[in-house]
């Protein structure tokens, strides 16, 4: 009986030792985005839209330029500051700004338009 008790206590202790989240400042997120960008790890963050365009085709067109598409879900009623504890919005903003500076705003719009035309 004691063995079962100690085993249960051990299992409970292991399950409660979750890896602690490490706070990442906005400045650190900016540095990470800049580093990823300089290493050609391009990630374009775009909101999930219900437009009439083929998202898979849009993603494929971006991949032809070595850009990965990541989808953002529109914010709800909860303020970003209370839900974004690791300042991921800083990374997203910096990465998208860098990509827009490199390729231009019209580049992403033109690919979205191509995906729209091909879908219709």
Mean pLDDT of 37-56: 84
pTM above 0.75, yes or no: no
Tell me how far CA of residue 23 lies from CA of 26, 57, 87, 92, 94, in angstroms. Answer: 10, 36, 9, 16, 18
- Whether residue 120 has pLDDT greater than 70: no
Domain edges within the chain: 40-120
- Distance, in Å, from the CA atom of 70 to the CA atom of 43, rounded to the nearest integer, reads 7
64: helix, coil or strand?
Answer: coil
Q: Which helix (H) or strand (E) holds 46?
A: strand 42-47
89: helix, coil or strand?
Answer: helix
Mean pLDDT of 97-113: 93
The DSSP string of 3-16 is: HHHHHHHHHHHHHH
Percent of the chain residues past pLDDT 90, beyond the cut? 41
pLDDT the model gives residue 18: 47
The CA angle 70-21-72, to the nearest 5 degrees, is 15
């Amino acid at each position: 009986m004691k063995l079962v008790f100690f085993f249960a206590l051990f299992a409970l202790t292991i399950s409660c030792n979750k890896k602690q989240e490490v706070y990442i400042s906005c400045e650190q997120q900016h540095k990470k985005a800049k580093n990823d960008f300089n290493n050609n790890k391009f990630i374009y963050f775009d909101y999930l839209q219900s437009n009439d365009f083929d998202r898979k085709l849009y993603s494929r067109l971006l991949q032809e330029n070595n850009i990965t598409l990541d989808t953002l879900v529109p914010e709800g009623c909860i303020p970003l500051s209370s839900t974004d504890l690791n300042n991921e919005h800083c990374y997203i903003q910096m990465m998208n700004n860098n990509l827009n500076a490199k390729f231009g705003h019209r580049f992403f719009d033109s690919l979205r338009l191509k995906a729209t035309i091909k879908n219709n």
